[in-house]
């Protein structure tokens, strides 16, 4: 059930003092170049006397090669860029901590999962999958959600995606899938989208992707915020306890604020008017102490029970329905600190699913097996060195002693003269640690068989059952959005035969859905019908997620002459409920109410857009310049918010902007006129977020 609860914010934002082991370690590397008594120098420490004019032979003469300050300044600059990540290029991250709620000792010996209350420093990087580093945050795309736990027993990287499932059944297909969704190799377009022919040619001819496409076409493909998005490591891992027993496990991050999304055209428009929408949102939240929080859940299947299900636990195109295998919440991550330097910490961060700790192991999931090689390999190329874990963000807080040597830019100065194993000269150190004493070991799973390229089991041929389970779990509104999103994307596919193939393929998910897509995209109705799956999994629908007013963003449309007491009370109530606000008018500066109340304006109608707000508070007032243009601007915002089903509050001075007619039902519109509870009612509406019954 939807939970419209504003109470969690009643204390306002929480502030927090951090001084964890990772922060202390990073502090050693902070370098300040500006400030009192800071002369400009070369990188070798020589003071510079002129940083504006190059050294020339004569006042109007050519620059001299001898101007080493000029050429070093230029040549260092020329080398600033490194290759962007081959996928997940666009991202941003923050530090924080993970706190364990309950001991998982019975299933795993992982140190950070033993004692309730244990806090582990973390760094989390959110990313888009398809687009380049310079693309847009709100692309219709799957997101990455990669967390590095700096545990006492070494780093543990948990790489999640915003979907519970992935697009391929074997890592072999990854380059094909990525090539197909990335820009056309000939033209280099389009950027950060699957609205193009290659993507759908791939889909139609690699039908194991059906379930993934259902998620991508749904609300899940366009999160409102990284703070309101789930994270799924997708692949099946193993927990290993101190008796060596194994339990299959899938993890999930559940955002405390619930899972919420943008509408298709909002996401498309925001991509242009604020390409940094998600990173701006993360910064805003952390800077004011509204720290993003995610609870960690586990789904577990004991070794020996892996064949009890109608899906294969090694198949990452299938999820483990929460109704069948419950999610057990075991802890919470709080992100409370932004990076100091985007390149040094975010761009140089390196994640790798094989960065494991004792107590967590791989399974034979064929995608996971391929991933164990891919990440370190790509980072050798991208970061250009073997010394990836010398980079401060990647350094463990646990002591690392290796026999690895040299490579580009080795910062650490290894002072030993013995660098091999086994040895006598260094007392055979660094020594190996047996598993019983905390050394990492691989689960001694028994394997036998012929070398083969066969599928691991018959359910690896079932592409549609869970895609239909997903469809069955959607509300009517969510189903309509899926159909629209298909039509939007297929409208960018000129070859009719591909559109037809896609429609025929998705008839296996739902006949009616495919017929509606056919209708919208000018192809024949599908011939086949869907697979006979009747169950649903309610947790997959965003209708069943918590809803809060906390951190929802309100645009306040206001001008001079507003009703001072009414507006002050409303804004105070919004603030007490942790609602974010922009005050928008036709000019920056201060505006003054009827009783002399002054309010600072931080956005103008020309510098912001209605799609950037979750709801509007329409106050109105006396325009500074033109009555007509103020009215048009307010009406533009109102139209957009109204059509996107957003909550709208109208002050007594603003009520004339929106009137009941025989065509509208004004659901989610709250009037202040003769309503002493307006502020409270408006906060309640903000918590509801969308009013889908609006006409
Ligand atoms: C269930 C499947 C998968 C999950 C959960 C997943 C997750 C992620 C995440 C979260 C990132 C971003 C890391 C960051 O923020 O730096 C990433 C990057 C990447 N993934 Fe995956 N991925 C999956 C499948 C694959 C497969 C099958 C391959 C290849 C065999 C692959 C190769 C890569 C590569 C090369 C990068 C870029 C890493 C970098 O340059 O730093 N992924 N993946």
Structure tokens at 593: 């109410």
CA 592 to ligand 1 center in whole angstroms: 53
- Give the dihedral sign, CA 261/636/285/396: positive
**DSSP SS3 for 87:** coil
CA 433 to ligand 1 center in whole angstroms: 30
Query: Which own/partner pairs from 428-435 qualify as long-range (CB within 8 Å, at least 24 positions apart)?
Result: 429/401, 430/401, 430/402, 430/403, 435/244, 435/358
Task: Indicate whether 656 pLDDT > 70.
Answer: yes
Angle at the Cα of 531 from the Cα atoms of 527 and 532, rounded to 5 degrees = 130
CA 378 to ligand 1 center in whole angstroms: 10
Angle at the Cα of 335 from the Cα atoms of 234 and 212, rounded to 5 degrees = 25
Q: Identify which of 169, 366, 368, 371 to mutate to test ligand 1's pocket (most ligand atoms within 8 A of the CB).
A: 371
Our answer on whether the CB atom of 144 is closer than 6 Å to any ligand 1 atom is yes
Overall average pLDDT of the 549-575 stretch = 98
30-87 per-position pLDDT tens digit: 999 999 999 999 999 999 999 999 999 999 999 999 999 999 999 999 999 999 999 9
Task: Quote the pTM value.
Answer: 0.96
Task: Indicate whether 515 pLDDT > 60.
Answer: yes
Q: What is the mean pLDDT of the chain?
A: 96
295-311 per-position pLDDT tens digit: 999 999 999 999 999 99
Nearest CA owner, ligand 1 atom 40: 85
Which among 27, 147, 34, 26 is positioned nearest to 94, based on CA atoms?
147
174-190 per-position pLDDT tens digit: 999 999 999 999 999 99
317-364 per-position pLDDT tens digit: 999 999 999 999 999 999 999 999 999 999 999 999 999 999 999 999
Strands (E), 289-402: 293-302, 328-338, 360-362
Compute the residue count for the chain: 695
Check residue 10 and give its pLDDT.
39
Our answer on whether the CB atom of 355 is closer than 6 Å to any ligand 1 atom is no
Task: Indicate whether 585 pLDDT > 50.
Answer: yes
Distance CA 564, CA 235 (A): 56
Check residue 8 and give its pLDDT.
44
Query: Kind and range of the H or E element at 217?
Result: helix 210-217
474-506 per-position pLDDT tens digit: 999 999 999 999 999 999 999 999 999 999 999
Overall average pLDDT of the 671-679 stretch = 97
Nearest CA owner, ligand 1 atom 39: 85
Our answer on whether the CB atom of 396 is closer than 6 Å to any ligand 1 atom is no
- Residue 275: partners with Cβ closer than 8 Å, 6 or more residues away: 135, 136, 137, 138
Nearest CA owner, ligand 1 atom 36: 87
CATH architecture, range 91-394: Beta Barrel (2.40)
Our answer on whether the CB atom of 88 is closer than 6 Å to any ligand 1 atom is yes
% of the chain with per-residue pLDDT over 70: 97
Angle at the Cα of 145 from the Cα atoms of 221 and 577, rounded to 5 degrees = 80
**DSSP SS3 for 604:** strand
Q: Identify which of 351, 355, 376 to mutate to test ligand 1's pocket (most ligand atoms within 8 A of the CB).
A: 351
CA 105 to ligand 1 center in whole angstroms: 29
Q: Which atom of ligand 1 is nearest to the CA of 161?
A: 5
Protein fold of 552-688: Rossmann fold (3.40.50)
CA 146 to ligand 1 center in whole angstroms: 9
- Give the dihedral sign, CA 354/357/363/365: negative
CB distance 104 to 148 below 8 Å: no
- Please give the full DSSP string across 27-65, using - where no structure is assigned: HTT----SSTT---B-TTSPBPS-SSS--BSSTTSPBPT
Which among 565, 583, 574 is positioned nearest to 652, based on CA atoms?
565
Our answer on whether the CB atom of 178 is closer than 6 Å to any ligand 1 atom is no
Q: How confident is the model at residue 625 (pLDDT cuts 50, 70, 90)?
A: confident
Our answer on whether the CB atom of 171 is closer than 6 Å to any ligand 1 atom is yes
411-443 per-position pLDDT tens digit: 999 999 999 999 999 999 999 999 999 999 999
Q: Which atom of ligand 1 is nearest to the CA of 166?
A: 1
Which among 681, 683, 684, 679 is positioned nearest to 570, based on CA atoms?
679
List the domain boundaries for the chain.
91-394, 462-543, 552-688
Q: Identify which of 88, 131, 279 to mutate to test ligand 1's pocket (most ligand atoms within 8 A of the CB).
A: 88
User: Burial, 75: exposed, middle or buried (Cβ in 10 Å; 0-12, 13-18, 19+)?
Assistant: exposed
Superfamily of domain 462-543: Catalase, four-helical domain (1.20.1370.20)
Our answer on whether the CB atom of 367 is closer than 6 Å to any ligand 1 atom is yes
Q: Which atom of ligand 1 is nearest to the CA of 93?
A: 15
Overall average pLDDT of the 112-120 stretch = 98
Task: Indicate whether 196 pLDDT > 80.
Answer: yes
Our answer on whether the CB atom of 382 is closer than 6 Å to any ligand 1 atom is yes
Task: Indicate whether 568 pLDDT > 60.
Answer: yes
Our answer on whether the CB atom of 173 is closer than 6 Å to any ligand 1 atom is no
4-41 per-position pLDDT tens digit: 444 444 344 444 556 899 999 999 999 999 999 999 99
Q: Which atom of ligand 1 is nearest to the CA of 367?
A: 27
Spacing of C-alpha 408 from chain mean position: 32
Distance CA 53, CA 61 (A): 12
Q: Which atom of ligand 1 is nearest to the CA of 127?
A: 15
Please name every residue paired with 93 in a beta bridge, in sequence order, or none if there are none. Answer: 125
Our answer on whether the CB atom of 12 is closer than 6 Å to any ligand 1 atom is no
Our answer on whether the CB atom of 601 is closer than 6 Å to any ligand 1 atom is no
Our answer on whether the CB atom of 388 is closer than 6 Å to any ligand 1 atom is no
């Amino acid at each position: 059930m939807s939970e419209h609860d504003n109470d969690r914010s009643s204390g306002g934002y929480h502030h927090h003092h951090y001084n964890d082991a990772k922060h202390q370690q990073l502090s050693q590397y902070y370098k300040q170049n500006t400030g009192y008594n800071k002369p400009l120098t070369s990188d070798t420490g020589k003071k510079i006397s002129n940083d504006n004019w190059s050294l020339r032979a004569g006042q109007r003469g050519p620059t001299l090669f001898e101007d080493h300050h000029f050429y070093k300044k230029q040549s260092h600059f020329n080398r600033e860029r490194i290759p962007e990540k081959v996928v997940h290029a666009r991202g941003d991250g923050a530090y924080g901590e993970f706190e364990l709620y309950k001991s998982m000792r019975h299933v795993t010996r992982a140190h950070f999962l033993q004692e309730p209350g244990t806090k582990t420093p973390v760094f989390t990087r959110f990313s888009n999958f398809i687009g380049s580093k310079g693309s847009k945050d709100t692309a219709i795309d799957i997101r990455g959600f990669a967390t590095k736990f700096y545990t006492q027993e070494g780093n543990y990287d948990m790489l999640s995606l915003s979907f519970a499932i992935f697009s391929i059944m074997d890592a072999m297909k990854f380059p094909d899938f990525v090539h197909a969704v990335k820009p056309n190799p000939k033209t280099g377009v389009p950027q950060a989208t699957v609205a193009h022919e290659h993507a759908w040619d791939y889909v139609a001819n690699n039908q194991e992707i059906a379930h993934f496409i259902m998620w991508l076409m749904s609300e899940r493909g366009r999160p409102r915020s990284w703070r309101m998005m789930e994270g799924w490591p997708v692949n099946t891992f193993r927990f290993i306890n101190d008796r060596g027993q194994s339990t299959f496990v899938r993890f999930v991050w559940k955002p405390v604020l619930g899972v919420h999304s943008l509408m298709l055209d909002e996401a498309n428009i925001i991509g242009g008017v604020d390409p940094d929408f998600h990173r701006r949102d993360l910064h805003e939240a952390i800077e004011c102490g509204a720290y993003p929080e995610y609870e960690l859940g586990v789904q577990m299947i004991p070794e020996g029970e892996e064949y009890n299900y109608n899906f294969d636990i090694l198949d990452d195109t299938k999820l483990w329905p929460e109704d069948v295998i419950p999610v057990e919440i075991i802890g919470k991550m709080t992100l409370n600190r932004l990076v100091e330097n985007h390149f040094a910490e975010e761009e140089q961060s390196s994640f790798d699913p094989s960065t494991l700790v004792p107590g967590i192991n791989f399974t034979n999931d064929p995608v996971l097996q391929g991933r164990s090689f891919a990440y370190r390999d790509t980072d050798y190329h991208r970061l250009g060195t073997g010394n990836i874990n010398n980079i401060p963000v990647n350094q463990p807080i646990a002591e690392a002693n290796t026999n690895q040597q040299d490579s580009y830019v080795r910062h650490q100065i290894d002072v030993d003269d013995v660098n091999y194993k086994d040895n006598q000269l260094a007392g055979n150190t660094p020594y190996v640690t047996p598993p019983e004493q905390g050394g990492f070991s691989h689960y001694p799973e028994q394997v036998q068989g012929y070398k083969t390229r066969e599928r691991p089991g018959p359910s690896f041929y079932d592409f549609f059952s869970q895609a239909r389970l997903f469809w069955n779990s959607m509300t009517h509104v969510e189903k309509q959005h899926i159909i629209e999103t298909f039509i939007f994307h297929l409208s960018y596919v000129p070859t009719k035969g591909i559109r037809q193939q896609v429609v025929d393929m998705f008839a296996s998910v739902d006949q009616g859905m495919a017929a509606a897509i056919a209708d919208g995209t000018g192809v024949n109705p599908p011939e086949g019908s869907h697979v006979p799956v009747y169950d649903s999994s309610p947790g997959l629908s965003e209708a069943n997620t918590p809803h809060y007013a906390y951190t929802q963003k309100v645009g306040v449309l206001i001008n001079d002459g507003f009703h001072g007491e009414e507006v002050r009370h409303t804004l105070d109530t919004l603030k007490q409920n942790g609602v974010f606000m922009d005050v928008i008018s036709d000019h920056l500066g201060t505006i003054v109410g009827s009783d002399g109340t002054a309010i600072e304006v931080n956005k103008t109608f020309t510098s912001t857009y209605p799609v950037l707000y979750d709801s509007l508070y329409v106050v109105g007032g006396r325009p500074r310049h033109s009555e007509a243009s103020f009215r048009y601007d307010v009406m533009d915002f109102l139209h957009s918010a109204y059509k996107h089903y957003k909550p709208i509050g109208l002050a007594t001075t603003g009520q004339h902007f929106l009137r009941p007619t025989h065509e509208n039902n004004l659901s989610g519109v709250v009037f202040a006129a003769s309503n002493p509870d307006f502020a409270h009612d408006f906060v309640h509406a903000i918590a509801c977020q969308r009013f889908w019954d609006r006409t």
